[in-house]
């Protein structure tokens, strides 16, 4: 299964900064063989990034979208707008949207269904907060987020899904999950998918780990049975260190 390493830039980089980053990253493209690489800039930098990436193997993702075709949705962006800008993937239900912007499971489910309807590939983010981990309810939280988000989907759709397991306490803290914790969460996600959508669909899903991933620790996640990539925040903001991280992931899978 091909690894998928995605850069989530969050609210960082203007169009010109994105262009500069992409030009630098592409100088190392030969090192990315065997890894699907994806950049998710803010909306305003998508077109600039797309212009540089268009003839390359590096793909473009968006960080969010609204599940309506068009209309009175001030401040929102549709799937058609993203596709015209060259977007292939879209991050849905990131913890910052859930916990800072109040995005509920029901909206996440609508976005996942709308992404499939409109030909965008969703990256569904799930993960527990620190207090939930301390209470020992991690699996209960993941179960709820997964079952709500996927309730409108058919097994055939689930098969091509990317799911990012991002424990909230590991995001931007420098305190990545242990390989044991990541393995246990990814195993739980796999068995949930297996139970609800069948083995073939579960086996097609790529599960990413996200939360303080860097070149130095990516190998410990990538080598786990059910983890096939990473969603990277801070360490994706410089082309040099992001390139090192991709190379390290490729090496870990080859060894």
Residues of this chain that bind ligand 13P (CB under 6 A): 8, 94, 166, 171-172, 210-213, 231-235
Query: Considering beta carbons, is residue 78 or 217 the nearer one to ligand 13P?
Result: 217
79 vs 92, beta carbon nearer ligand 13P: 92
Q: Please pick, among 96, 128, 166, 192, the residue that the annotation labels catalytic.
A: 166
With respect to ligand 13P, which residue has the nearer C-beta, 11 or 72? 11
Closer to ligand 13P by CB, 41 or 201: give it. 41
Distance, in Å, from the CA atom of 21 to the CA atom of 238, rounded to the nearest integer, reads 7
Contact 97, 83 (CB under 8 A): no
199 annotated active-site = no
Min CB(103)–ligand 13P separation in Å: 14
The one catalytic residue among 36, 94, 128, 226: 94
CB-neighbour burial class of residue 225 (10 A; exposed 0-12, middle 13-18, buried 19+): exposed
Contact 185, 140 (CB under 8 A): no
Give dist(CA 246, CA 252) in Å, integer: 10
The residue sitting closest to ligand 13P, measured at its beta carbon, is 233
Q: How far is the CB of 216 from ligand 13P (least distance, A)?
A: 13
Using alpha carbons only, give the angle 226, 152, 198 rounded to the nearest 5 degrees.
Answer: 40
Two structure tokens written together for 224:
């786990």
Q: What is the DSSP string of 143-210?
A: HHHHHHHTTT--HHHHTT-EEEE--GGGTTSS-PPPHHHHHHHHHHHHHHHHHHH-HHHHHHPEEEEE
Beta carbon of residue 135, minimum distance to ligand 13P (angstroms, whole number):
22
| Nearest CB to ligand 13P, comparing residues 19 and 94 | 94
Distance of alpha carbon 29 from alpha carbon 20, whole angstroms: 15
Nearest distance, CB of residue 92 and ligand 13P, angstroms:
12
CB of 82 to ligand 13P, least distance (A): 18
Residue 55, SS3?
Answer: coil
Let me know if 166 is a catalytic residue: yes
Nearest to 220 by CA among 190, 174, 165, 181: 181
Q: Which is nearer to ligand 13P, 196 or 247 (CB)?
A: 247
Residues 54 and 108: their CA atoms lie apart, in Å, by 29
Separation between Cα atoms, residue 229 and residue 4, nearest integer Å: 5
CB of 178 to ligand 13P, least distance (A): 15
Catalytic site positions: 94, 166
């Amino acid at each position: 299964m091909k690894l998928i390493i995605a850069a989530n830039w969050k609210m960082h980089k203007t169009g010109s900064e994105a262009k500069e980053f992409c030009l630098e990253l592409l100088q190392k493209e030969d090192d990315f063989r065997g890894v699907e690489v994806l950049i998710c800039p803010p909306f305003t930098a998508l077109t600039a990034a797309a212009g540089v990436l268009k003839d390359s193997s590096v793909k473009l993702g968006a960080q969010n979208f609204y599940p309506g075709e068009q209309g009175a949705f001030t401040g929102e962006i549709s799937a058609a707008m993203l596709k015209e800008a060259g977007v292939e993937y879209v991050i849905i239900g990131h913890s910052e949207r859930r916990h800072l912007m109040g995005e509920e499971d029901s909206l996440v489910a609508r976005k996942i269904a709308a992404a499939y309807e409109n030909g965008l590939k969703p990256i569904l983010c799930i993960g527990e907060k620190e207090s939930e981990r301390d209470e020992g309810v991690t699996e209960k939280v993941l179960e709820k987020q997964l079952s709500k988000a996927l309730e409108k989907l058919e097994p055939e759709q689930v098969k091509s899904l990317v799911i990012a397991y991002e424990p909230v306490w590991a995001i931007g803290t420098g305190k990545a999950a242990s390989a044991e914790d990541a393995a246990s969460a990814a195993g739980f996600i796999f068995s949930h998918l297996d139970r609800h959508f069948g083995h073939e669909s579960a086996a097609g899903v790529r599960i990413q780990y996200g939360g303080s991933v860097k070149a130095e620790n990516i190998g410990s996640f990538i080598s786990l049975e059910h983890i096939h990539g990473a969603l990277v925040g801070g360490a994706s903001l410089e082309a040099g260190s992001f390139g090192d991280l991709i190379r390290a992931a490729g090496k870990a899978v080859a060894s």
